[in-house]
Amino acid sequence: MKNRSFPHTGATTSRLGIGAMSFSNFYGEVSRDEVFAILDAAQEFGVSHIDTASVYGMGGSERHIGAYLAENPQARSFFHIASKGGITDRKDPNRLFNNEESYLAEQLDNSLERLGVEQIDLYYVHRRDPSVPIEEVTQTLAGFVKLGKIGGFGYSEISPTSLRAAHAVHPVAALQSEYSLSTRTPELGILQTCAELSTTFVAFSPVGRSLLTDSPHGHEAAQSMPFLAKNPRFMEPNLSMNIKAAAPFRALAAQMGLTAAGLAIAWCLAKGDHILPIPGTRNLDHFKALVAGANYGLSAEELAAVEAALPMGWINGDRYSEAQWAGPERYA
């Protein structure tokens, strides 16, 4: 497995990561054994970056990882662990996000305890709180670095202008946003800004929440998952149209000897040396297919063929509903 670097922290990790939302019940119930099997396989295949968050299963994802590290203490030096804070418990509908220093410090300490580690390698503000200037939030995060509680920090779902404002205060190690063949908005500024500032771009949902796999979720499956049930791309008639539209991509992947998900990962990595995709899975066969995609290496001709199969704008429906858009900064 080739590596990706985080220039501002000096860390080097695998160029494929694990999106540990799948270690919660977000897409269906997950067992401890499933999580442990994925983390065992990650070490076997050299996949060292794990991305979790305090809200994934209300701490459940972090607790699973912490339990694994407790039983496999040697794994702590292998894994590069990222987590996120800043989303409230939503008891107050008027404040979904809190970036105040006291709240972020509390969230960070809780994550450290659940993970059972002394330092989190990379810590994100999960969503921006517009009531707190990003320069002030950046100073808070820089303070956590000085305390040794985190190795570096990043932001999730912010705009290029916000990244520049934060970076002017302290180098930002990583920026995380959704990026895939079905969500290409980052190409309109944030990918370029990250490259310019040497900020690693971490791509979540790189297989389109299943739409870029060989077995995309059908209507019944989508309706069983609260997030997808209300997501425009998984509501009819969009869902049926999206599954049909992606058929040429699935066929191309088969011709290349990859799964569709593997090809989606290969495409993502081919779009920039500073990009690190973090697909999530709790299935070993799926995980191995993702690893195969990360190890593939697309030629220029293959990259062109992929983008001909799924040209810009092929997807039906917005990536979020209006309610789901709460938090991410829209910039294009």
d(CA 104, CA 91): 17
Q: What structural domains does the chain harbor?
A: 13-208+268-296 (3.20.20.100)
Tens digit of each residue's pLDDT (9 = 90 or more) over 206-254: 999 999 999 999 999 999 999 999 999 999 999 999 999 999 999 999 9
Identify the pLDDT of residue 44. 97
Identify the pLDDT of residue 92. 66
Identify the pLDDT of residue 94. 75
Tens digit of each residue's pLDDT (9 = 90 or more) over 170-216: 999 999 999 999 999 999 999 999 999 999 999 999 999 999 999 99
Task: Confirm whether 56 is a catalytic residue.
Answer: yes
Cα–Cα nearest to 156, from 198, 188, 125: 125
What secondary structure letter does DSSP report for 199?
P
Identify the pLDDT of residue 106. 96
Please give the angle made by the CA atoms of 176, 181 and 184, to the nearest 5 degrees: 55
Could you tell me if 111 and 62 are in contact, meaning their C-beta atoms sit under 8 angstroms apart? Answer: yes
**Model-level pTM?**
0.96
Low-confidence ranges of the chain (pLDDT < 70): 90-93
Identify the pLDDT of residue 90. 64
CA–CA distance from 145 to each of 76, 135, 139, 252, 288 (Å)?
19, 15, 10, 45, 34
E strands, the chain, are 3-6, 11-14, 17-19, 49-51, 80-85, 122-125, 153-156, 174-178, 200-204, 275-278
d(CA 323, CA 152): 31
**Catalytic choice (56, 123, 296, 320):** 56
